[in-house]
Structure 1
Amino acid sequence: MIIASILDSAFISTFALSAVLFGSWFSFWYKSNLARTEKERAYVCTLLSSSVTSLCSIPLVYTLLTNGGDLADIAAYRTWTVIATTFFMTFLVVDLVIGVVFYRSKIDMLTGWIHHITYLLVLSWGIHNQLTAVFIMMCSLEVPTFILALGSVRSELRRDYVFAATFLTTRIIFHAYAIKCAWQYTAGFIKQQIRLAAKRKQDSVASNQAQRQRSKQQHIQPSIVSTATISSETTIKKTTISRNNKTTSASTYLSSPTPQFHQSPPVSVH
């Protein structure tokens, strides 16, 4: 099954189920008074989203690290990455909707509305172009977000050194490595397109030469036929003239007077 549009029934179903999950998750924290302050409520949905997407990124990160940095393997279509991407897109919408009601001061214009809406547009484009696997791989950058959210909803779980270590490992080191792989992939793609363009040009030149050769042969062939026709007509004319000459000679001979034969006197026999 290939999901290539946000209007696909699979996307809509996943979005609806994810929305129910996020709503239930937030309701549990809010009604059980586990998220007491506005800051804690602001990180409840982030905690769930970052934990799921970080886990989903592990197999793709492992693939990139073990295949020599070949991003082509990562870019291959995987349906489960579309579902995971839809889950994250649901979080973006739910975070804005719930945030307006329960933690309005934490939803500012830049990191809230602009950030989330931009992500929604980019990920919609990614689904259409079947590039969600690359996004899910880069969700490994959500690991420090998970550590931050965990420390925000429960201050006793805050670990600044863990956050710093995961931030350095994922958002700086791995991010730089992924950019390098992306550059190599892009450079290889460009070189491939150049080779294909050169091959198409060579094929076009060869095709044009073959076409000119065929046209030349077609031009020469009528000339040969014309020459043969003229030669044949000349032969026929010569044959006709020869026959006419023979007929004329025969007619002249037949119309000439009969020659007088010499009659010798009778011979007497003694």
Structure 2
Amino acid sequence: MALVPSAQTQCATFLLSYVAFVSAYYVISPHFPAPKQNSWIITTVSSCVMTLASAPFVWDYLASRGDVSAIRAFPELSVGSSRLFQAYLFADLSVGVLRYRDQINIATGWFHHILYLGIIEYAIQQKWAYVFSLATCMELPTFVLGLSTLFPRLRSNVLFAVSFFVTRILFHSIICLAYYIPKNRPLTPLTPLTPLTPLTTTYSESISPLSMPSPSSPEIGSIVPAILLTCIFPMHATWFMACLKGFKKRAKVKKERIAKIGKKDGKERKERKETGVVPVSLVPAHHPRPNLYAHYTHYARYYSMRYAHYSSRYAHYRTRLRGLDLRGFRGLGFRGLGMRGLRGVRGSASTVKEQVRKRIRWRDFRLRRVLRSR
């Protein structure tokens, strides 16, 4: 049988989780100096852990085809993850007061965190931690939003909206209605949870036999979890409505921007028709040649220390030839056009000039064709 963690174990889990969250913040925060990003570090880490911790409970729910009464309790995991979430709430408030106080508001900060501290404690005492652990899959949209805040390139408004609707609207509504059904209501112990001895107390033994349903009993369990889920739902619905308003606002801004560009385009085309002058905005942009960097590298290598022994009288011809990426033409028989080919040139400047012209002129057509293709 599964053992319920003792009070000492739960306290140690809370303290270690709190230290881990605070340490993670001070390690990661130097990489995200913006105040808003700072405020999302602990939340992103917590939402990731809680989403993963809810996986066994969600699996049981899906495997039983939506039967919440078939979900196993997993007391070590459910109670431990509940204490971890309490540590996150306390760490977010305590660190936030010192580091990002302006990012903590009344509704989603103080009220939300304090309310959930009480709800989780009540669920643990009533041995409903597995119900809360099942609901922590609703932290998935929080993780998506946290990632998009820390890494703006990963932002996806559609992914956040879909995950929010599936978990915090649809799934929330389904399990809320399911826990209103008498046979799905969780059992209520007649004695408090603490203190428990992990060596002698199992999860099934921690629930009083008097609270177990009998065949003739019309009432099976407590309706409190369903009521709590019902009270929390309006907050999720409000956040989802704000998300939809954001979509509507962004679509309106985009539509106005497109209309403004179209109006400006039409005005410029009308001016062109009336005056015959092409506006600057309608002139196609000139794109630089793709081998511009090759020209630069070719030019630079002739003025390196390796080629310093060349006479200064050839500098003019090196300058004239610097725009050719001669290394790329070796396969076409243009090796002689390089500066190494000028070593055999002798005579005055006019003689050198004439010999260089002869070397280039007889393949001028092929050279222009290659340059044009590049």
TM-score (norm 2): 0.48
SS at 1:183's partner residue? Answer: coil
Superposition deviation, residue 65 in structure 1: 1.8
> Does structure 1 retain, via aligned residues, the 8 Å contact 2:32–2:38?
yes
Pair 1:175-2:177 in alignment: no
Pair 1:106-2:70 in alignment: no
SS at 2:62's partner residue? Answer: helix
1:209 match: none
CA distance in 2, matches of 1:13, 1:187: 32
1:68–1:185 distance in 2 versus 1, CA, 3 Å: farther
2:88 to 88, 91, 113: 91
> Does structure 1 retain, via aligned residues, the 8 Å contact 2:69–2:184?
no
Superposition deviation, residue 20 in structure 1: 1.6
The answer to which structure has the higher helix fraction is 1
CA distance in 2, matches of 1:92, 1:105: 17
Superposition deviation, residue 35 in structure 1: 1.5
Say which is worse superposed, 117-126 or 177-186, in terms of deviation. Answer: 177-186
CA distance in 1, matches of 2:184, 2:120: 24
Aligned length: 192
User: Which structure has more RCO (C-alpha within 8 Å, separation ≥ 6)?
Assistant: 1
State the AA in 1 paired with 2:40.
Y
CA distance in 2, matches of 1:197, 1:174: 27
Which runs of structure 2 are paired with 1:62-77 in the superposition (5 Å)? 62-74=59-71, 76=73
Which runs of structure 2 are paired with 1:100-179 in the superposition (5 Å)? 100-179=97-176
1:61 match: 58
Bigger Rg, which one: 1
1:25 match: 24
1:136–1:79 distance in 2 versus 1, CA, 3 Å: same
1:148–1:188 distance in 2 versus 1, CA, 3 Å: closer
CA distance in 1, matches of 2:80, 2:123: 12
> Does structure 2 retain, via aligned residues, the 8 Å contact 1:75–1:134?
no
> Does structure 2 retain, via aligned residues, the 8 Å contact 1:140–1:170?
yes
State the AA in 2 paired with 1:115.
H
1:197–1:66 distance in 2 versus 1, CA, 3 Å: closer
1:196 to 200, 217, 224: 217
CA distance in 2, matches of 1:122, 1:188: 17
SS at 1:27's partner residue? Answer: helix
* RMSD, matched Cα: 2.3
2:300 match: none
Superposition deviation, residue 70 in structure 1: 2.4
CA distance in 2, matches of 1:187, 1:59: 19
> Does structure 1 retain, via aligned residues, the 8 Å contact 2:179–2:185?
no
State the AA in 1 paired with 2:103.
K
CA distance in 2, matches of 1:169, 1:188: 23
1:71–1:88 distance in 2 versus 1, CA, 3 Å: same
Unaligned runs of 5+ in 1: 199-270
CA distance in 1, matches of 2:218, 2:36: 56
State the AA in 1 paired with 2:175.
A
Unaligned runs of 5+ in 2: 188-212, 220-374
State the AA in 2 paired with 1:102.
R
Summarize deviations over 1:193-252 as a string: whole Å, max 9, x none: 793279xxxxxxxxxxxxxxxxxxxxxxxxxxxxxxxxxxxxxxxxxxxxxxxxxxxxxx
CA distance in 2, matches of 1:81, 1:89: 12
1:2–1:104 distance in 2 versus 1, CA, 3 Å: same
Q: Which runs of 4+ in 1 moved over 6 A?
A: 187-190
Superposition deviation, residue 58 in structure 1: 1.6
